[in-house]
A and B are shown apart, each in its own frame.
Chain A
Amino acid sequence: MSSVHLNNIVKRFGAVTAVHSTSLEIPEGAFVTLLGPSGCGKTTNLRMIAGLLDPTEGEILIGGKRVNDVPIHKRNLGLVFQNYALFPHKTVADNVAFGLKYRDVPSDDIATKVQDALELVQLPDVGDRYPKELSGGQQQRIALARAIVIEPDVLLLDEPLSALDANLREDMRVELKRIQERIGVTTVFVTHDQSEALAMSDQIVVMSDGRVEQVGAPEEVYNTPASEFVANFLGASNILAARCTRRGPEGVDIEAPTFGKLTVPAEKAPNLGSEGPAKLVIRAEKLLVSRDEAPEGVLSVPATIEAVDYQGQAVRYFVRADDTQLQAINMIDQHPFATGDAINLHLRPIDCAALPGD
């Protein structure tokens, strides 16, 4: 188990810069997720930590030691791929034992370790089978067993759940987190799926266009996005061009279209100055669609429902208030509202966040 440090890492492919100067600290034992859309550089970072790619500039340290010149087979890392990458010509047991053969493990211990790893991933009886005889979820468990049996310093997971069906993916998410907590290995997880990132991580690194947009705990990243990109990428947000009029000790006064004047808590607008253009960030699920009057301290704005996107337990409304189009995601009480209904939008100012404007 080791910490991982990236110091001013840059990766260029010819004229294209895939990763702009990036620095990251991944503490020992942490579960850190690199989250972002495809092409944001998250996989490039992972592959540089793994040693599959060499950084153009900067240093990579694992356990405090510079590893730039250490070849991949000497880095002692566990690597799990999206497509499992199990050796199709070897049995499950031989797959899991593969890494042990290159370490000083007595051959008597190999079988025990392999069996322990298979039990850890809850597939104790498949050692004699070939990978293609297993389901996708089972193959991914074997890939995980193969990566952790060598007791790696760092576990690197490259979108390991993306190839699985939706239901299985959620089960595996819980399972993966359970195993990681049990063995306590430092883990770098790459995904484009925000719900995976939010559910599993100690820390999320949101990336876009080869740059780190924000680093923080899931709640922090979700509730206090540091940029418009983060606000849009994690969950659904309404972002309104607004003005900041005053910054006080307990809050920031914002003037926004439709909602008028409101005070956003100071900690939810950390990057905003005292006066000038701003952006008001309203999470879609914080905007409540209701026929009732708003209680004390809650803003209320009349609006019309323009479209209804029914999702079962929740519903997404596209509403219009004045000239502003907004989306609201609400749990369904009984029946959802219908298109054309005149309703009120309720919003608590403390649920809002604010960003510097352009």
Chain B
Amino acid sequence: MSVEAREARQPWILLSPALTAIFLLLFVPLLFIVVYSFWLRTSTGADQVGFFLDNWREALSDAFYRDILLFTLKIATITTLVCAVMGYPAAYVIARSKGNKALLLLLLMLPFWISYIIRTMSWINILGVSGALNTALLWLGVINEPIQMLYNQTTVILGLVHFLLPFMILNVFVSLEGIDTNLEDAANSLGATRMQAFWQVTLPLSLPGLAAGGLLCFVLGAGTYITPLVLGGPGDAMFANLVFEAIITQLNWPLGSALSLMLLAVLGALVLIYNRYLGMAQLMKGLG
């Protein structure tokens, strides 16, 4: 074998375990779901194998699904904006801190050591009828009976922000870290105040990180079903809850498959748009 051929083969040899795993654990199951989505669940509860468009027709034409999809995108958008506004200053402080950067990053990662479900459920102990906040307010005499704070749209967003904020901070942090601090000094020396230097230099150069963090928050937020399940009320179901409902509760795998592919298509389109304008490299930087 020639040297060129050997060198050309080497990356594939190194990639093959990962590619095998992705093929068997992601691509093949996804194909199953595509196939499932064209089957039909009969009234007897059995799946009828074949090529039926009924699930797709229902998923795409029923206003119920459309409204929940729009609601999901709305919640994800609000969550992303809140994460950006809250996360950017935090990332800035970490990136510009001198001595204790490692400690601050460790604190940022700390929540990941606790299960996402437990972190979500912890809000019940804080905001619940007999939770910490109500107990404190009752004890202080501010209120006479507990306030119903949980199970609404706001608590869903709260839970999502709690879950997604570290992803935003990490991405913005990485892009701020990559900006030469001499640039701000140079801007200052040329007559810009610190605020002007930030708007003119630092913010524009960190936008790729903000966009990458935004995309991650949006996609993860739009795809979640745990948070609305635990912290939302009956009217706060998001699209992934419909998939959960169809597959786990109703055992309607064909419809659930079609719905999940619908969500995948919408979020996939967003990723493609992002990739078209900003490129995947920044996202990889933020994840790595």
Contacts and interface: CB of A to CB of B under 8 A. Distances in A.
Interface stretch (A76-84, A177-185, A247-255): A76-84
Contacts of A99: 190-191
A73 B191 contact: yes
B191 A81 contact: no
A336 to B, nearest CB: 43
A156 B189 CA distance: 10
Interface string B186-211: 11111111101000110011000000
B190 A146 contact: yes
Contact of B185 (A76, A79, A86): A79
A85 interface: yes
B182 interface: yes
A270 B201 CA distance: 52
A87 interface: yes
Nearest to A89: B204
Given A98-B200, A146-B186, A156-B189, 5 more contacts: A73-B189, A73-B191, A81-B182, A87-B183, A98-B187
Contacts of A87: 183, 186-187, 200-201
A88 B205 contact: yes
Nearest to A82: B182
Contacts of A89: 201, 204-205
B188 A72 contact: yes
A333 B188 CA distance: 54
A50 B192 CA distance: 14
Contacts of A146: 186, 190
B62 interface: no
B190 A150 contact: yes
Counting from the closest, the 9 A-B pairs by CB-CB distance are: A102-B191, A99-B190, A79-B189, A85-B182, A85-B186, A72-B188, A81-B182, A73-B188, A73-B191
A103 interface: yes
B180 interface: yes
Interface in A84-111: 85-89, 98-99, 101-103
B205 A73 contact: no
Contact of A102 (B180, B186, B190): B190
A150 B185 contact: no
Interface of A: 50-52, 71-79, 81, 83, 85-89, 98-99, 101-103, 146-147, 150, 156
Given A83-B182, A85-B185, A98 B204 contact: no
Contacts of B186: 79, 81, 85-87, 146
Interface string B170-191: 0000000000101101111111
Interface centre among B185, B187, B190, B204 (most CB of A within 10 A): B190
Contacts of A156: 189
Interface centre among A50, A87, A156 (most CB of B within 10 A): A87
Contacts of B205: 88-89
A136 to B, nearest CB: 15
Contacts of B200: 87, 98
Given A87-B201, A88-B205, A89-B205, A72 B183 contact: no
Q: Chain B contact residues (Cβ within 8 angstroms of A): what range?
A: 10 to 19
11 contacts: A52-B188, A71-B188, A71-B193, A73-B192, A78-B189, A79-B190, A83-B182, A86-B186, A87-B183, A89-B204, A102-B196
A50 B189 contact: yes
Contacts of A81: 182, 185-186
Nearest to B183: A85
A75 to B, nearest CB: 8
Interface centre among B185, B188, B191, B194 (most CB of A within 10 A): B191
A52 B185 CA distance: 7
Contacts of A78: 189
A74 B190 CA distance: 9
A83 B180 contact: yes
A83 B185 CA distance: 12
A150 B191 CA distance: 9
A99 B182 CA distance: 15
Nearest to B204: A89
A21 B176 CA distance: 36
B179 to A, nearest CB: 9
A115 B182 CA distance: 25
A323 to B, nearest CB: 51
A73 B194 CA distance: 8
B28 to A, nearest CB: 43
A155 to B, nearest CB: 11
Contacts of A73: 188-194
Interface in B215-271: none
Nearest to A103: B191
A141 to B, nearest CB: 15
A42 to B, nearest CB: 17
A268 B193 CA distance: 50
A76 B185 CA distance: 13
Nearest to A152: B189
Nearest to A158: B182
Nearest to A102: B191
Contacts of A72: 185, 188-189
B195 to A, nearest CB: 10
Contact of B190 (A51, A83, A88, A98): A98
A12 to B, nearest CB: 16
Contact of A85 (B180, B191, B192): B180
Contacts of B201: 87, 89
B282 to A, nearest CB: 14
A76 B192 CA distance: 11
A49 to B, nearest CB: 11
A83 B200 CA distance: 19
A86 B182 CA distance: 9
A45 to B, nearest CB: 16
